[in-house]
Structures are given as C-alpha cells and as structure tokens.
Amino acid sequence: MKINFVGVGEAFDESHANTCLFIEDASLLIDCGYAAVQRIWKEDIHNKINTIFISHFHADHTFGLPALLLRYHEDKREAPLTILGARGIEKYIRDITELAYPNNIDKLCFELIFQEIDSDSKIELKNATLTFACANHIDSSFAIRIEKDSKSVVYSGDTGYCAEIVELAKETNILVHEAYTSQKDKEAKELKKHSSFLSCGLCAANSACKSLALVHILRNSGNPGAIEEEIRLAYKGTLLIPKEGDNFEV
C-alpha cells in the first residue's frame, strides 16, 4: 500500500500545503484543506479519487472541498464521489460550498454521496477496510485505519495524546500522526488538543507501530534534529518527516 503525502502542513504555514494524504490502493483522499487543492492536480491524482475522508470540521482540513468540487465540474467529471465524515458532514459541505459558490452544489455533473461515520463504523472500499477512532481534538474528530492485504496505514488527524488512537494503530505498518510542537512549547501554551513530538513518540511506542510519519508540524517549530531527539525519548522505530510529494510504500 502506498501513501502519497499531498500536503504535510498545519493551518497557516506559508511553506507547506495543509496536511492531505492519498492512498491509491483505496482511491482514498484524506482531508482537503484550502491549500491542498492545487497540490492534488499537481500530483496528478485528481482522476484517481473516488472517496474523501474528512477527519474533522476545521478549515485547514475541509475548505479545499468547494474548489475541488467545482474544478471537477469544470473538468466534466463523471464518476461519483463519496465524502465520509462525522455526523452532519452533508450539511457542513453543503454550507461551505454554498458560501463559496452559491447555487452550484446541486448542479454538479457527477453524483455526490455523503456517508456519516462514527467510531464503530467499518467500511469496505476497493478491497481495503476502513475503521475509525475518536480523536482528542474538537467534537467529532476521527482517526482512520486503512487495511489491505495485511498492510495498514493509520492517520491520526489533529489530536492530543489519545488512547483510542493507540488502540487503532496497534502494530500498524505506518502511523501518520499530527506532531504540532515541542513538549516544552505545548506545556507553555497549555495546548491539550494537539500533540507534542513527545506525545507522538508515546503514541507510536504504545501502539508498537512499525514506522511513524510526522505531519501538521507547527511552522518554524524546531529543526528535524531536535524533533527526532524528542521523539527518541519514547519511540525507537522508523521515523519519517515527509515533504509534499513524498511517497511511502508499506
């Protein structure tokens, strides 16, 4: 199974597009922030996406959708598109698209399907199985596990340290985890709903995942050496700090 790191940034990073992943084996895009859409066309994956999973309703994970939908319309897309997300996903996507481009969402030239998920959902997709866990961020934030041919990928979404994600990520081949800032900075800012590098390392160690990839790192938040040093306090497995356009095969 291959992961394409379409974007790896947090909300307001001038150097990196918002965190967005593509799993070709499942034709699945994960999250679609406002700075991710151009990257989807640049990576030439737009025609391979059948399903989009939205981890939570924050703009850096969702506000690319109106542009994505309208670009597909201009490109005369014919294939249906399914959007998976928490309860209320259809209203949320309809509302932001209506604000962005009024009176368009019902005129799209392809079928748009919404599917609500919760932590108990299990979805079969192109021979891949999707399962979910509640994340520790805003209400209705979810992590996802994609499993195919005994290989698996887990994406945490935005989250503070979360026992449910440790469970979801048990022995996964790769855990793609939000790594917001250093433990010292997290404590100083009293951030509870994002992860320090140390808490990512703890989640990776406690889940016994085979490799850990860090995304959504706060802009200007330390050099890779300092990040690795903090991760290594807890986790000894393979560590990646991917850049946009990187691919990783499990």
Residues lying near Zn ion in the complex (CB under 5 A): 58, 60, 158
Rg (CA), the chain: 17
Q: In this complex, which beta carbon is closest to Zn ion, that of residue 147 or of residue 158? A: 158
Q: What's the burial of 205, exposed, middle or buried (CB within 10 Å: 0-12/13-18/19+)?
A: middle
Q: In sequence order, what are the residues at sequence separation of 6 or more whose Cβ sits closer than 8 angstroms to the Cβ of residue 70?
A: 100, 101, 104
What is the C-alpha separation between 215 and 232, in angstroms, rounded?
Answer: 17
Q: In this complex, which beta carbon is closest to Zn ion, that of residue 125 or of residue 175? A: 175
Q: Which two tokens stand for residue 13?
A: 């990073």
What is the C-alpha separation between 194 and 205, in angstroms, rounded?
Answer: 18
Q: In this complex, which beta carbon is closest to Zn ion, that of residue 141 or of residue 172? A: 141
Work out how close the CB of 102 gets to Zn ion at its nearest, in angstroms, rounded to a whole number.
26
Work out how close the CB of 8 gets to Zn ion at its nearest, in angstroms, rounded to a whole number.
11
Q: In this complex, which beta carbon is closest to Zn ion, that of residue 124 or of residue 190? A: 190
Work out how close the CB of 33 gets to Zn ion at its nearest, in angstroms, rounded to a whole number.
7
Q: Supply the angle between the helices 65-74 and 89-100 in degrees, to the nearest 10.
A: 70
Q: In this complex, which beta carbon is closest to Zn ion, that of residue 22 or of residue 72? A: 22
Work out how close the CB of 106 gets to Zn ion at its nearest, in angstroms, rounded to a whole number.
29
Q: Which residue, among 221, 189, 180, has the nearest Cα to 19 in the 3D structure? A: 180
Q: In this complex, which beta carbon is closest to Zn ion, that of residue 58 or of residue 77? A: 58
Work out how close the CB of 159 gets to Zn ion at its nearest, in angstroms, rounded to a whole number.
9
Work out how close the CB of 16 gets to Zn ion at its nearest, in angstroms, rounded to a whole number.
12
Q: Which residue, among 1, 31, 4, 2, has the nearest Cα to 244 in the 3D structure? A: 4
Question: 22 vs 6, 26, 47, 99, 209, CA distance in Å?
Answer: 7, 9, 12, 27, 20
Q: Which residue, among 185, 174, 169, has the nearest Cα to 218 in the 3D structure? A: 185
Q: In this complex, which beta carbon is closest to Zn ion, that of residue 47 or of residue 119? A: 119
Work out how close the CB of 34 gets to Zn ion at its nearest, in angstroms, rounded to a whole number.
11
